[in-house]
């Protein structure tokens, strides 16, 4: 297996270009630690508390819905991650093989917007966390500290991100386990097991939330597996990513649920964590802060790669340098800090609502990406064509993919239940957003039919001598 030499720079020098086989390194287990550690953070814990506080499920039904939702959604993120070693390029660049060189800009734009949105929300959250731990630090200074720390990690890049998450897996995993032990070792409320119950709307909403949570990571999963050796196969990266992503999120959601049930009804989620874990609470808050910063580096890294991909689409012979990535990171940092410093008190909830609404565009993209890679092309792509100015064998636009993509978005709208838009059939199951399921059911067979029809026509044309 190729190893990184001592001459390799600390700062990653690849951006959206192909990673040569001689520079491949790492093991599949690196994907487990990355996705496990990334998901032990305040946001999934707060979301897990919603299972009791908003959806009114009891412990048993809540845990079942959490596990099922993440186990289903985890299949998508794991299948996307397993593409990295075979392709050796970022996820958004790979989309050119499905949508065409210019057609891929559709999803690249939305992906960049989602990354930047989460980056801003997380630096606001990190700033508030710093103030909560050290009240003497002004809020603006706290936001800047969180933003600069995440940016430094994102600029250094791939290897440093993986190293931090290997450490974070042991630290955050142990801390969460200690939190569970502390809660169950002390007296629990009399209604701990009986508070809430089963209701179909809340149960389906929790399952859907788990599925959407996992799908939201899919546009950048292969960014963190593309350096793995090409001969590592599909199975090992799939299993490592699946177990890391599902176990990390299930444990965090479950911890939020347990903390909510272990404290008086109506207690705010992070306050519930502090109350339920006693003297361990302040330690958890510090660790959560460090994890927010580490996780936010992934959002910046993905945003930079998406923007570079967009620019490189119009400059096929341009290979961005380290300096370009550093400069772009600085520009994004500056813009995000301006927005974050002027954020209102309810900014995070509003912005997360916007981002969750944008997730409508991810379901049809993920459907097309996975069907194309695993069923249509069976993992065989012409990497050279992906970087050619005219798109090579993939062309500038693949109308079949674009048509399937837009239809996949449109069919979700009547069933969408977001803060920005509520469709006329959104409340078929009250409180549950099932638009993702409609998008999946429609896009998968539609794209398969269009793609196989196109493939059949090309084969027939070649046999009849109509093409070169």
Where residue 54 sits, what CATH number does that domain have?
A: 1.10.4160.10
Contact 273, 259 (CB under 8 A): yes
Residue 27 in any domain: the answer is yes
Looking at per-residue confidence, does 463 or 120 come out higher? 120
Residue 242 placed within a domain: yes
Indicate whether 419 belongs to any domain. Answer: no
Q: Which of 201-210, 237-246, 308-317, 380-389 has the lowest mean pLDDT?
A: 308-317
pTM: 0.87
Residue 458 predicted with pLDDT over 60: no
Number of domains in the chain: 1
Q: How confident is the model over 300-312, as a mean pLDDT?
A: 84
183 within some domain? yes
Task: Identify whether 13 is part of a domain.
Answer: no
pLDDT above 60: residue 8: no
Domain presence at residue 383: no
Of the pLDDT bands very low, low, confident and very high (cuts 50, 70, 90), residue 460 is low
Mean pLDDT of 266-284: 88
Query: pLDDT above 70 covers what percent of the chain?
Result: 90
% of the chain beyond a pLDDT of 90: 37
Mean pLDDT across the chain: 85
For residue 245, pLDDT over 50 is answered with: yes
Residue 179 lies in a domain: yes
**Domain limits for position 66:** 21-360
Does 238 or 330 have the greater pLDDT score? Answer: 238
pLDDT higher than 80, residue 293: yes
Is residue 318 situated within a structural domain?
A: yes
For residue 5, what pLDDT band results from cuts at 50, 70 and 90?
very low
Output the CA angle 212-406-392, nearest 5 degrees: 105
């Amino acid at each position: 297996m190729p190893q990184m030499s001592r001459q390799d720079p600390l700062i990653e020098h690849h951006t959206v270009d192909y990673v040569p086989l001689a520079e491949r390194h790492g093991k599949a287990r690196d994907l487990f630690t990355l996705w496990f550690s990334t998901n032990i953070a305040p946001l999934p814990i707060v979301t897990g508390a919603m299972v009791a506080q908003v959806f009114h499920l009891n412990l048993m039904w809540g845990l079942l819905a959490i596990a099922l939702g993440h186990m289903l959604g985890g299949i998508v993120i794991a299948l996307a991650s397993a593409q990295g070693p075979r392709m050796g390029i970022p996820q958004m660049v790979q989309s050119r093989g499905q949508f065409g060189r210019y057609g891929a800009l559709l999803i690249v734009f939305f992906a960049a917007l989602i990354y930047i949105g989460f980056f801003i929300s997380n630096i606001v959250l990190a700033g508030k966390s710093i103030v909560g731990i050290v009240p003497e630090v002004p809020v603006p200074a706290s936001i800047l500290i969180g933003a600069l720390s995440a940016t430094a990690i994102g600029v250094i890049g791939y290897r440093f991100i993986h190293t931090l998450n290997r450490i974070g897996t042991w630290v955050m995993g142990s801390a969460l386990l200690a939190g569970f032990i502390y809660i169950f070792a002390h007296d629990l409320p009399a209604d701990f097991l009986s508070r809430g119950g089963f209701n179909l709307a809340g149960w389906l909403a929790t399952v859907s939330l788990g599925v959407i949570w996992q799908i939201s990571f899919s546009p950048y999963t292969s960014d963190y597996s593309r350096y793995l050796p090409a001969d590592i196969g599909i199975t090992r990266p799939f299993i490592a990513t699946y177990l890391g992503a599902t176990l990390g999120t299930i444990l965090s959601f479950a911890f939020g649920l347990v903390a909510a049930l272990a404290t008086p009804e109506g207690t705010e989620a992070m306050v519930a964590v502090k109350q339920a874990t006693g003297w361990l609470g302040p330690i958890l808050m510090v660790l959560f802060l460090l994890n927010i910063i580490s996780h936010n580096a992934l959002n910046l890294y993905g945003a930079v790669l998406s923007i570079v991909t967009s620019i490189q689409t119009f400059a096929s012979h341009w290979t961005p340098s380290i300096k370009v990535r550093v400069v772009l990171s600085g520009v994004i940092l500056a813009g995000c800090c301006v927005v974050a410093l002027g954020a209102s008190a309810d900014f995070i909830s509003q912005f997360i609502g916007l981002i969750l609404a944008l997730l409508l565009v991810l379901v049809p993209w993920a459907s097309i990406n996975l069907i194309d890679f695993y069923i249509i092309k069976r993992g065989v792509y012409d990497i050279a064509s992906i970087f050619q100015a005219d798109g090579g064998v993939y062309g500038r636009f693949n109308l079949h993919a674009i048509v399937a993509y837009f239809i996949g978005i449109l069919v979700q709208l009547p069933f969408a239940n977001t803060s920005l838009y509520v469709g006329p059939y959104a409340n078929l199951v009250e409180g549950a957003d099932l638009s993702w399921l409609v998008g999946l059911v429609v896009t998968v067979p539609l794209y398969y039919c269009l793609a196989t029809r196109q493939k059949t026509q090309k084969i027939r044309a070649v046999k009849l001598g109509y093409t070169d």
